[in-house]
Amino acid sequence: MTENIHQQLGCTCRGRFSTQEDLLGHLEAAKRRICRIDPDNLQSTSIVGPPGSIENDQVGLAYMCPHAECEGIQRIKFSRRRNLVRHYAKHIECREACVFCGTSASRVSKYVGHIERCMRRNKTKCQPERQQQGRGYIYTQNRRFAQRRAKTLMEIVAKELRLKMGVDDSDSE
């Protein structure tokens, strides 16, 4: 009895390919797209074949932070664009105040991180008896506002990053 085992090769984008040629074609297309963005942004990462395979080709890519503060720092590279966007938020200034405690933040990453922590802390303070007095409604409204504001700020960060890297909106993920 012959078993037909289909081995698939995987990419860091979670794409699956039945042949090495298909995977390499996919990687070359991605590499061309990245080189169009910024030829200096192309780095090598490991792409591993199916389990048990001895293949370990250095043909993948990584996103590098284009900010001047990160220039030349080898550890500042990311395999996913969203991780680069989250990192890049450290470089973007803002003037935001927490709707729960009034703490101000001067960087988008600090504001987003603070809001997430402060929402968790304030949720425990908002007991059912307080909700009946209307404070629960205020908490809910503040929470929605804070979440929308954090999302908007991260969209601004992503847009600034695309502009810095010379990518139009149709090329982004």
Phi first, then psi: give them for residue 74, nearest 5 degrees: -65, -30
Distance CA 131, CA 126 (A): 7
- Asked if the structure places residue 53 within a domain, the reply is yes
Q: Would strands 93-97 and 56-57 be described as parallel, antiparallel, or unpaired?
A: unpaired
Classify residue 11 as exposed, middle or buried by CB count within 10 Å of its CB (0-12, 13-18, 19+). middle
What integer best gives the mean pLDDT of the chain?
72
- Asked if the structure places residue 99 within a domain, the reply is yes
What's the pLDDT score for residue 136? Answer: 56
Domain end point (choices 15, 41, 60): 60
Helix H or strand E segment including 150: helix 135-165
- Asked if the structure places residue 171 within a domain, the reply is no
- Asked if the structure places residue 172 within a domain, the reply is no
Domain count, the chain: 2
pTM greater than 0.85 (yes/no)? no
Which pair of tokens denotes residue 155?
């969209």
- Asked if the structure places residue 28 within a domain, the reply is yes
Phi first, then psi: give them for residue 135, nearest 5 degrees: -70, -30
The SS3 assignment for 159 reads helix
Do 56 and 102 lie in one domain? The reply is no
Phi first, then psi: give them for residue 72, nearest 5 degrees: 85, -5
- Asked if the structure places residue 42 within a domain, the reply is yes
Q: Which of 6-20, 24-38, 50-64 has the lowest mean pLDDT?
A: 50-64
Domain that holds residue 135: 93-164
What's the pLDDT score for residue 7? Answer: 65
pLDDT tens digit sequence for 54-92:
333 334 567 788 888 887 776 677 878 888 899 999 999
- Asked if the structure places residue 160 within a domain, the reply is yes
- Asked if the structure places residue 1 within a domain, the reply is no
| Residue 139 reports pLDDT greater than 50 | yes
